[in-house]
A and B are shown apart, each in its own frame.
Chain A
Amino acid sequence: MISIQNLHAEINGKAILKGIDLEVKAGEVHAIMGPNGSGKSTLASVLAGREDYDITKGSVTYLEKDLLEMSTEDRAREGIFLAFQYPVEIPGVSNVNFLKTAINEIREHKGMEALSAKDFLAMVREKSKLVELDAKLANRAVNHGFSGGEKKRNEIFQMAMLTPSLSILDETDSGLDIDALRVVANGVNKLKSENNAFIVVTHYQRLLDYIVPDFVHVLYNGKIVKSGTKELALELEEKGYDWIKAEQGESITA
């Protein structure tokens, strides 16, 4: 689905990603873990098309297209979804209005007719149940005055509404209590299929108890330094990140 090769990215002249290689196929869940400042969120942002970053080297192929050539909105229309670490509050724009606009722009991009109001509302009802999002929240302004948990649930609700091919969850577990975490994870698990893929960026292992990854990658200092299966996540939980850092230090001096 997506193939990242030797990706380098910098912001204000400071290199953050220093050669990322990653291959994600349909039906797979990949977890990206790593200590703070390792470049996890940067990777998520770069894939979603945040323009603050300069891509200095490498390529990203998504569904046989050059992803880096596409605008943020075109990436979304082609099925990339970023669940934000810090969802933005937008007073004055209602959640439903916002989603209707998004869905219809995506449909227009695909040469499909606009969704009827009736079908849209039926979809809102169905999908808001999925993340146990109060129907009232759907009518409120986007994330405005939402609690931390409501904001994250709203991200997953949007994901459910937009049915992306590749979803990137950027620290979706941060700031969630255990109940909210379960709700969010259940939502993701219900949306998982053979045709879509997930990249789950997280600092802690606990989310991975609920969203079980097929692969776990450790990002450190802008590079993937270790890859494995879900057991690697458990090992990290137990030992922390210091041994990775130590190993890297050794390999540099060796």
Chain B
Amino acid sequence: MSATAVLSTKDKFIACLEASGRVASHPAAKEASAALNTLEFPTSKTERWKYTRTNKIVKTDFTVQKSTQAIDLEPYEIEGLDADTLVFVNGYYRNDLSSFKPNDNVIVAPLSEALSSQASIVQQYMGRMANHNTEIFTAINTAYAVDGGFIYVKDNTIVERPIHLINLTDGNNVLAQPRHLIVAGKSSKVDFVATYGSIGNGANLHNVVTEVWVGENAHVHLDKLQYESEDAYHIATDQVYQESNSTFTINTITVNGALVRNNLNIVVDATNCTSNLYGLYMPTDKQHVDNHTFVDHKKPHCESNELYKGIINDAATGVFNGKVFVRQDAQKTNAFQSNANILMTDDATINSKPELEIYADDVKCSHGSTTGQFDEEAVFYLRARGIGEDSARKLLTYAFVVDVLDNIENEAIRRKVDQLLEQRFNWVL
């Protein structure tokens, strides 16, 4: 294909966004727009996208459209979770569906509002973490996102109620671009849930960017639940910056979606930090789930723990590319990374690439990747005790993923995840 044809794909893609209006007033948007003049969509030669082709996505004629219809939120709510909730449909904020209690120590607002009401904070943090200069999908989001969640936790604040960001798409070939900004002040503690869902079966694209600033001695926990439609596309970038003595934990649970790409980048730029990255993906049919993680250890005495597990069914594909970078200054780093997969069929594929790049000489790092088939001996063992073959397989599947799920600390969220797995895979737990 000629270079002009590729260019026209990008121009066409962007043209639908130009018409829609945007969060224009922050400086990052201008930078991102400028960057888009030269950035191109990844090709098969782009190393970071080697195993995930975006052709189908970027050639789709998406529209950006507001949805105003009444929506039953129940499938996306979490029973028993007393949370502040912000709802975005097609990337637009839905005031009628959101509910949160005003609090002196936590500012919760749609980004569109925060741009004026919290202008200085937005200026200070937005676009300062996510890289819109080199990543085209991040640039598109930065330049054209219409709304998102803005959460600012003041210093020394323990946020009792979790904050739930519900992101939905409604329609067909809709492009939704939520843009979330989370800033956790000094010695604060806050828990988030981010839910991604589809109303109906449209082949919609969520191109979402979440920036998280974890202040000194702050604790931020984020559970990400992705259960969009079978035909949904999802490209996510979670960009995290950690200050000293902070802890950041993320659980990424991918239950459904035709093509899901999660970019998780954590910059650990201070001492005594802990970063926990856990993930579970279970693609079926011809679905494709790609988790790209990057932990950048810049300073000494930090720890990162990473565990991603995949169960790949049918003719589905999983991709895990986890990179841990330990810079020369980052002495006494403890970095552990592990990826384990079960291929349920002969047609299932996994591309697993754990990477460690170490420039410090006094560190403790390990990484590993395993891929196997179902343990038939264990199936026989369970059956020999009277457990039916179907239940035996479900029990063993659940057993394989349980050490990832156990990192979801909130019981209501854990129950929700169990329910999602039960609905999707007929598990009886």
Contact = CB atoms under 8 A, between A and B. Distances in A.
B381 A87 contact: yes
Interface string B378-412: 10111111111101100110111111000000000
B96 interface: no
Nearest to A107: B386
B386 A77 contact: yes
Contacts of A51: 380
Interface of B: 375, 377-378, 380-389, 391-392, 395-396, 398-403
Contacts of A75: 384
Contact of B387 (A48, A91, A102): A102
Contact of A109 (B385, B386, B395, B402): B386
A92 B385 contact: no
Given A90-B396, A92-B398, A73 B386 contact: yes
Contacts of A88: 375, 377-378, 380-381
A49 B382 contact: no
Given A76-B384, A92-B403, A101-B387, 12 more contacts: A73-B383, A73-B392, A81-B384, A84-B381, A88-B378, A88-B380, A90-B396, A93-B396, A105-B386, A105-B388, A105-B391, A162-B385
A60 interface: no
A98 B400 CA distance: 14
A105 B391 CA distance: 10
Interface string A80-106: 011010011011110000110111011
27 contacts: A49-B383, A49-B384, A72-B384, A73-B386, A73-B388, A75-B384, A76-B383, A82-B384, A87-B381, A88-B377, A88-B381, A90-B381, A90-B396, A92-B396, A92-B398, A98-B382, A98-B385, A98-B387, A98-B395, A101-B387, A101-B391, A102-B386, A102-B387, A105-B387, A109-B386, A162-B385, A162-B386
A50 interface: yes
B402 A92 contact: yes
Contacts of B386: 73, 76-77, 102-103, 105-106, 109, 162
A49 B382 CA distance: 12
A6 B400 CA distance: 42
A93 B392 CA distance: 11
A158 interface: yes
Contacts, number: 73
Contacts of A106: 386
Contact of B399 (A81, A90, A109): A90
B340 to A, nearest CB: 11
A93 B379 CA distance: 12
Nearest to B398: A92
Contacts of A109: 386
A48 B384 contact: yes
B387 A50 contact: no
A161 to B, nearest CB: 9
A199 B384 CA distance: 16
B383 A90 contact: no
A229 interface: no
A51 to B, nearest CB: 8
A71 B383 CA distance: 9
Contacts of A84: 381, 384
B85 to A, nearest CB: 33
Contacts of B385: 76, 98-99, 102, 158, 162
Interface centre among B383, B384, B387, B392 (most CB of A within 10 A): B384
Interface in A143-175: 158, 162
B155 to A, nearest CB: 40
A180 to B, nearest CB: 21
A202 to B, nearest CB: 19
Contacts of A158: 385
A92 B383 contact: no
A49 B392 CA distance: 15
